[in-house]
Amino acid sequence: MVDYKKPLPCVNDDTREFWLGCKARELRFQKCRDCGHVRWPASPVCPSCHSMDTDWVVTSGKGKVFTFAVYHVAFHPGFRDDLPYVVADVELEEGPRLVTNIIGCAADEVRCDMPVVVAWEDITEEFTLPKFRPTPSP
């Protein structure tokens, strides 16, 4: 893991709780105490009602692919060996959408609205990434 060659998350006061959650394998988002809106990206103000009264909640890690792109060009050398790889905007059951990767299936099997679940990937001692894989059939 010391050889990790891709960009690392930039942690700030807004996003620290999210990344600590990932390390604990929990998908944590901010939830507005006034209107209940669950939001991402993290921010001090609720984009729905402008309240600053906020809780962090643990979400289910279940969602569906809102949209996706299959990268065939590595814009950063760290991704060269992954080509082609899938970047997706995943819509969580609780509402927020998260840019992430779809793993565990071929790129040409990914579809919009496909159900997915979080799949944790430890990348360094400090960071774990929330990626997603197709929901296994029951």
Partner 1 sequence: MLSYGHNALSTDSMRRTLLELSPQDAVFGHFEAVGGYALAARRAMHAFRTGPETWKHIAVGQRKWANLNPDAFAFKEPLTFDDYYRSGWVAEPLRRADCCLITDGGRAVIITSAERARDLKQPAVLIMGMGQHNPSCDVHQAEHLTGPTGAKKSAETALRMAGIALEDIDACEIYDCFTYTVEITLQDYGFFGPGEGEDWFKEGTIEPGGRMPVNTSGGQLSDAYYMGLTPLSEASLQLMGRCGERQLGPKTKTKPPQIILCSDNGAILQTHSSVILRRP
Cβ(107)–Cβ(84) below 8 Å: yes
Rule CB under 8 A: choose which of 9, 20, 56, 115 binds partner 1: 9
Task: For partner 1, give the closer residue by CB, 56 or 66.
Answer: 66
Q: In 10 A of CB 54, how many CB atoms?
A: 19
93 lies in the site for partner 1, by CB under 8 A: no
3-state secondary structure of 18: helix
Residues 132, 94, 103: CA angle, nearest 5 degrees: 5
Task: For partner 1, give the closer residue by CB, 57 or 103.
Answer: 103
Binding stretches for partner 1 (CB under 8 A): 6-10, 15, 40-41, 47, 66-76, 78-79, 82, 84-85, 87, 89, 96-101, 107, 112-113, 129, 131
